[in-house]
Amino acid sequence: MSPQLKAFIARLDSAEISKNIQGAMGDPKWKAAMMEEMKALVGNNTWDIIELPLDKRTVGCKWMFTIKHNADGNIERNKARLVAQEFTQTYGIDYEETFAPVAKLNSIQVIFSIAVNLDWPSFQFDIKKCIS
């Protein structure tokens, strides 16, 4: 293994990912990542606050933490996601529909194939949450 590859892996391994909310709240970087996530969720009108009907139960949530790295292995940013614990839900009782904006790999491959064959310029970028 080359020294450059060893240094790259060492940079990736040296970053500490918070394992729980208590640890994250004590670190300004993780706290800022959680605030960014909450700002995006509120800005996108992700939920409405309502009275919980007596015959319904709440769906729990959990914070998930990860670190985004640049191509050189340096830390780009800390990333926090608030995820629903959907395993507590039952179709037809707690929800009626699902939606996940995900592109299939085959679709991406077809688009890149067309772009290459027609000599179209292509660009890569990371889409951050849309906040209107």
Pair 60, 35: CB distance under 8 Å:
no
Residue 59 located in a structural domain: yes
Task: Output the pLDDT for position 94.
Answer: 60
Q: Which two tokens stand for residue 119?
A: 């000599």
Residue 126 located in a structural domain: no
Q: Which comes out higher in pLDDT, residue 11 or 31?
A: 31
pLDDT in tens, 87-132: 666 666 666 666 666 778 888 889 889 999 999 988 877 666 655 5
* Ramachandran category for residue 89: left, alpha or beta (phi over 0 → left; psi -120 to 50 → alpha): beta
**CA distances, 63 to each of 16, 48, 118 (Å):** 16, 19, 44
Residue 45 located in a structural domain: yes
Total domain count, the chain? 1
Q: Which comes out higher in pLDDT, residue 88 or 36?
A: 36
pLDDT category of residue 44 using cuts at 50, 70 and 90: confident
* Ramachandran category for residue 73: left, alpha or beta (phi over 0 → left; psi -120 to 50 → alpha): left
Residue 108 located in a structural domain: no
Which residues pair with residue 61 across a beta bridge? 84
Residue 21 located in a structural domain: yes
Residue 55 located in a structural domain: yes
| Residue-number span of the structural domain to which 19 is assigned | 3-97
pTM: 0.60
pLDDT in tens, 50-97: 888 888 778 788 888 888 877 777 788 888 988 887 666 666 666 666
Residue 15 located in a structural domain: yes
Q: Which comes out higher in pLDDT, residue 75 or 10?
A: 75
